Chains A and B, each alone.
Chain A
Amino acid sequence: MSRAIEFLVGLLFGWGLLLSGMTDPGKVQGFLDVAGAWDPSLAFVMGGAIAVGFFAFALARKRTRTLLGGALQLPTARDIDKPLVVGSLIFGAGWGLAGFCPGPGLVAMAAGNGKALVFVAAMVVGMLGFELLDRFSRRGPRPAAS
Chain B
Amino acid sequence: MTIDWTHFTPWASLAGGVLLGVAAAVFILANGRVLGISGILGGLLSPKPGDAGWRIAFLLGMAAAPVTFGLLAPAGFLPAPRIEAGLGAVIAAGLLVGFGTRYGSGCTSGHGVCGLSRLSPRSLVATAAFMGAGFLTVYLLRHA
Binding site for B on A (CB under 8 A): 2-27, 29-30, 32-42, 44-57, 59-61, 63, 65-68, 70-75, 77-80, 83-103, 105-108, 110-113, 115, 118-131, 134
The secondary-structure label for the interface of chain A is: helix
Bound together, the chains give a CA A37 to CA B112 distance in angstroms of 24
Chain A: which residue is nearest B12 at the CB level?
A19
Bound together, the chains give a CA A74 to CA B132 distance in angstroms of 26
Determine the chain B residues whose CB is within 8 A of the CB of A38 once the complex forms.
Answer: 1-4
Bound together, the chains give a CA A108 to CA B83 distance in angstroms of 11
What are some 28 contacts across the A-B interface (CB < 8 A)? A3-B54, A13-B109, A15-B69, A19-B12, A23-B81, A34-B1, A36-B1, A36-B2, A39-B4, A45-B14, A45-B16, A51-B17, A53-B25, A85-B126, A88-B111, A89-B129, A93-B133, A95-B97, A99-B83, A100-B93, A102-B41, A106-B41, A115-B90, A122-B91, A123-B41, A124-B98, A129-B98, A130-B102
Binding site for A on B (CB under 8 A): 1-4, 7-10, 12-35, 37-38, 41-42, 45-46, 53-54, 57-69, 78-79, 81-85, 87, 89-109, 111-114, 116-122, 125-127, 129-139, 141-143
